Chain A
Amino acid sequence: MNALPYAIYVSFIGALLALIGGARSPATARVIALVTACVAWGISLVAAVQFVPAAGLQTLIDLPWVPEIGIHYYLAADGISLTLILLTGLAAVAGILFSWNIEERTGEFFALFLALIGGVYGVFLSADAFTLFVFYEIAIVPKYFLIAKWGSGNREYAAMKLVLYSFAGSALVLAGLLWAYAAGGAHSFALGDLAAAAAQFSRGEQIGMFGLVFLGFAILAGLFPFHTWAPTGHVAAPTAASMLLAGVVMKLGAYGCLRVAMPLFAAGFQFWQPTIAWLAIIGILYAGLVALVQDDFKFVIGYSSVSHMGFVLLGLAAANVQAVSGAVLQMFSHGVVAGLLFAVVGRMVYERTRTRKLVELQRLPLHRHLPFAAAVFVIAGLASMGMPGFSGFPAELTILIGAWQTSPKWALFAALGILVAAAFTLRAIQLAFFGSTGATIEGRASTGGLDPVRTDSAPAPYRPISLPEKAGALLLVGATVLIGLKPDLLLNLINPALQSSLFQHVLKGGAP
């Protein structure tokens, strides 16, 4: 448990080593990166096993950092952070496995990747607003270079857009936190101290501060209408970065909302609650409908991420223990499933076929040539639709039940989103993998009379799925099935954390 901070340090040291090792050979950098990510994940797994669930944050390390203005280097963990730490480790390992084929500036790629991971670990472990903010910003800049250098398509535009959105969000967070610090005369940035100071604020101040901090974080969580960075960024990013961006980095935003904005400014939250819920529902439906008409395979997944993150935000907005525990579970579930989807689209399919256009993929009977990719995508698709047996099911169900308790209307509209998700996922599966043999009208029309039998019988023109890809995919599939069958593994971590006194003013059904 107390070794958890080393997950951060190991990642940063691994980043440096990968940079140095990459100058020798790409293989060295790959091995260093994989070992680093495995060690960090191992640390979090051991911590999760040893963890004794309890209400409230359990201090890991608390040192005075800048005593002149009361800043502490304060790391702590509870079930929520632990869940997300586990996800980060998993996504990091899988991401590195799926980046095994990066040949250009390999050392720098993995260095940036691990620096991003280190920042993410730091955010999830911080119990001091300043510490959290520092790690949050450390995680911003690597994203730019990962996308701008190793990305595809309109990558420089997408990278800049994504980074400016993130940074603008963090500027809002900074403004809100400094406001709370300056106005309250708080002598520290520890979340507990800030919450105590914030309790004294007038309702107007609370509304303003919550608005700034929540919006700042929610931009990164893909809140409608500030989500537009996400699809462009995810699509342009290299596979590992897409997996991490959609899988983990968006969770940073949702985590910030839950950990910082909501407990600190409970009165402000109550004012904004309906707005957030409706924006989340619009996000679910709008992004889902947009995903339904995309002709770029990766954009389908990009918009589906926004739609699924809408469920997370709705769970947070519903503000009862059930909905929020569902939201945290959904963060984990979506992290795994989005990683899997991006891995199939970006790495297994795109790097072999060099096209992401559904119309073109339709002509390739990919389920014959890449049966493994097709199988993985079908599983990921089922998980993404929220089929029982996969992690998406308990997560979305819990969120909907929780939302119903707060407002049945929210649950009804959000449930429509599940239908939309089923529609766009099935369409993508159909067009991308089962196109030419499928009997859709679209399919026949676009093959333009091409004889399907001939293409079918041609030898597989693609390199077979490599071992690292299979390992990464099995890892993620295993995680989504495991949590789908036994969600209690995580819920038993999450639920006690929601009984913490930090959440008592903001969550219904929490501690009295």
Chain B
Amino acid sequence: MNVDYSELFRALRPETSLLIGALLMLGLDLTVFRQRSSADRMRLAAFIGALATVTAMIHVWSFGARGATFGQVFMFDAVAVVARLGLLALLLLTLCLVTAARCPRHPVEYLAILLFATMGFLLMAVAQQLLLAFLALELASLSLYVLAGYDKKRAASAEAALKYFLFGGMAAAFLLFGFSLIYGLTGSIELPHIASSLAAQAQSPLLSVALVMVLIAFGFKSAAAPFHLWAPDVYEGAPTLSAALVASASKLAGFTLFYRLLWSGLGGAAGSVSSGVGSPGWLPAAAVVSLLSLLLGNIGALAQGNVRRLFAYSAIAHAGALLLGVMAAGRSGPAPLLYYATTYAFATVGVFGVIAMIERTGPCDKVTDLAGLYRRSPVLAGCLAVFVLSLAGIPPLAGFFGKFVVFAAALKLGGVAGPAGWLTFLAIALSAVALYYYLLVLKQALVTEPAADRSARIATPAVAVFALLGAAAVLVVLGIWPSLLLGRI
């Protein structure tokens, strides 16, 4: 391998920026700002974090799409650039929202861990080597476990963290086992070598085992059924903005990583879903996972009275649609998948942001806690409408176009008559089911009058209003001009 450490340094400047930012905020907090109030400390730390994030975005943009870097370890293609910019923008939104939400204990450490998690996400988006992929995933996951359990005095938060950790640790074990089998089969941990080596050998049972292991880890990471069981509890129990990160940036990074892993590395073992039951490979297995997620997510969401569990089940349903995008990426390219994942992530951060703002005045657990939001805060209600309607796939918001391109690509995958075609039709039909529960949420927020004891106006700090309006604007602009994103991939 041609080792050029200066190139490595240049390529990883975004990660370095975040690292310096995190260390700086921790260092300053422990020395200079120790005596200040925790709200002040958090604001200063968030400001440092935001500066680091913006710096990282500039570095991502200026480095651009250069292709494979540092041997074959990193792949800086258009997908990586778009995903990394999206991840950093999501981090920026989350930072803005954290300063406005209820102050956690040890706020600066919380922000620092947010930055560490995002470092992991950024690396996941470029990893083209199994070792790096696993390390990046673990960096992100370990940070997320801590974030989920951050509100440690609340039993629900601790429960969420423990469940997330146990499921996540198990999934990581599966992934590592799968990776080791792939290494054993191909003698390489670099995806291009794995692909060429797999192309030269026959389909073996060992490979099937490896594929299943990788898919299980993928299913966990993307909260797809039947590996979804952690999701409702984590969404419900974790601190709101930790859940936002789990639901958005973590998804975007995960889908980018697994897209790369499955197509660049294991594309030769994809099999097919064009007719009958298809030929063996990971595509038919992914189709089954997608089917289960679409059904379970959409039907499960109908029964939810807790607003976060509702969005957890909706996330499971979206994971099913995103899996369709992953499956179609081999033929139609990653653009539909990435468009869907990015816009979905923005809408989800927005929803959780609105919930966090409502929580400033009291709990926001049940769907009915949203009642009368239009009266309590018209801005929040308007933003929530944009986010939820985007999730429901209503034009001109970005969620609609995301669904449209993913479904169009999926129909081209194996013809209409094949399983992929039927799966797509099912996904389209279930979008009508989804509209039902999304409208129930919006009905509370926009139609129902507020409860007598919860009718006070919600004062939202300007920074959070800007963040939420920014996320809403992203969804509207990308919805009306999808080429802004699609054209770059």
Contact = CB atoms under 8 A, between A and B. Distances in A.
Interface of A: 65-69, 130, 133-134, 137-138, 140-141, 144-145, 148-149, 156, 160, 163-164, 167-168, 171, 174-175, 178-179, 181-183
B439 A144 contact: yes
Interface in B322-352: 335
A143 to B, nearest CB: 11
A178 B483 contact: no
B487 interface: yes
Contact of B487 (A68, A164, A175): A68
A163 B425 CA distance: 20
Given A67-B483, A183-B415, A178 B435 contact: no
A138 B411 contact: no
B447 A182 contact: no
Contact of B428 (A134, A145, A174, A181): A174
Interface in B407-454: 407-408, 411-412, 415-416, 421, 424-425, 428-429, 431-432, 435-436, 439, 443, 446-447
A141 B408 contact: no
Given A145-B446, A175-B424, A181-B408, 15 more contacts: A66-B401, A66-B483, A66-B486, A68-B486, A69-B408, A130-B404, A140-B394, A163-B435, A164-B436, A167-B435, A171-B428, A171-B429, A175-B429, A178-B404, A179-B411
20 contacts: A65-B483, A66-B401, A66-B482, A66-B483, A68-B483, A134-B396, A138-B394, A141-B389, A145-B447, A148-B443, A149-B447, A160-B436, A164-B436, A167-B431, A167-B435, A175-B425, A175-B429, A178-B407, A182-B416, A183-B411
Contacts of A145: 446-447
A138 B482 CA distance: 17
Contacts of A167: 431-432, 435
Contacts of B432: 164, 167-168, 171
A113 to B, nearest CB: 15
B395 interface: yes
Contacts of A179: 411, 416, 421
Contacts of B389: 141
B412 A182 contact: yes
Given A182-B408, A182-B416, A183-B415, A138 B395 contact: yes
A185 B155 CA distance: 55
B428 A69 contact: no
B235 to A, nearest CB: 25
A16 B421 CA distance: 40
Nearest to B438: A141
Contacts of A137: 394-395, 400
Contacts of B302: none
Contacts of B411: 178-179, 181-183
Given A140-B394, A178-B424, A181-B408, A171 B400 contact: no
Contacts of A171: 428-429, 431-432
A415 to B, nearest CB: 37
A67 B405 CA distance: 12
A157 B404 CA distance: 29
B408 A178 contact: yes
A11 B424 CA distance: 34
The 8 closest A-B pairs by CB, nearest first: A182-B411, A134-B395, A168-B432, A182-B412, A68-B486, A175-B428, A167-B432, A149-B447
Contacts of A168: 429, 432
A160 B302 CA distance: 14
Contact of A163 (B431, B439, B486): B439
A205 to B, nearest CB: 8
Interface of B is mostly: helix
A181 B487 CA distance: 20
A66 B478 CA distance: 11
A149 B381 CA distance: 15
A156 B446 CA distance: 13
A163 to B, nearest CB: 7
A181 B424 CA distance: 14
A183 B335 contact: no
Contacts of B425: 175
A186 B172 CA distance: 43
B38 to A, nearest CB: 37
Contacts of B401: 66
A182 B414 CA distance: 10
A140 B424 CA distance: 22
Contacts of A134: 395-396, 400
Contact of A138 (B396, B436, B446): B396
B178 to A, nearest CB: 33
A163 B447 CA distance: 15
B480 to A, nearest CB: 9
Give the interface centre of B407, B436, B439, B446 by most chain A CB atoms within 10 Å.
B439
Contacts of A138: 394-396
Contacts of B394: 137-138, 140-141
Contacts of B395: 133-134, 137-138
Contacts of A133: 395
A212 to B, nearest CB: 9
Contacts of B415: 183
A164 to B, nearest CB: 6
B464 to A, nearest CB: 21
B304 to A, nearest CB: 17
A156 B442 CA distance: 12
Nearest to B482: A66
A144 B446 CA distance: 11
B399 to A, nearest CB: 11
Interface string B376-396: 000000000000010000111
Interface in B263-305: none
A145 to B, nearest CB: 6
Contacts of B439: 144, 160, 163
A483 to B, nearest CB: 33
Contacts of A66: 401, 482-483, 486
A69 B446 CA distance: 36
Nearest to A136: B395
